[in-house]
Amino acid sequence: MKKLILPILLMSITTAALGQEKKEANFNPTFVHTVFFWLKQPDNTQDREKFERELSTFLKNSKYAQTNFIGVPPKASREVVDDSFSYKLVVTFASAQDQASYQVEPAHEAFVENCKDLWEKVIVYDAEGKVY
């Protein structure tokens, strides 16, 4: 039994490390697209479910979006932290051209059409990565 524990432990650590490496390798800093959404009815469960479902479908069907992150704000613990938004989306692209193509692809246009009535405000921050 003791002979099996060490190989199993080493395999688990290796698998976890490889999984973490892969996760980090997927983030492409070339072009990062950050979008903040303020829902009209942020406490409406049906609106939130629809928004999340449509956003998930859109990202799965996008030909250009690479890494993506969908988050909700935790309660701000410092004055400089803005927790007023409902959702934050971060998407990476291989190039600015890919991001421009993403804006007009059917998956993105369907998401906007299906959800535009749910939000009252959207702010976008784009950044091109720089290697230091």
Question: pLDDT tens-digit profile of 64-98?
Answer: 999 889 999 998 889 998 999 999 999 999 999 99
Enumerate domains of the chain plus CATH numbers. 27-128 (3.30.70.100)
Task: Tell me the average pLDDT of the chain.
Answer: 83
Question: pLDDT tens-digit profile of 6-40?
Answer: 333 334 333 333 333 333 446 777 899 999 999 99
Structure tokens given for 67: 């890494």
129 pLDDT exceeds 70? Answer: yes
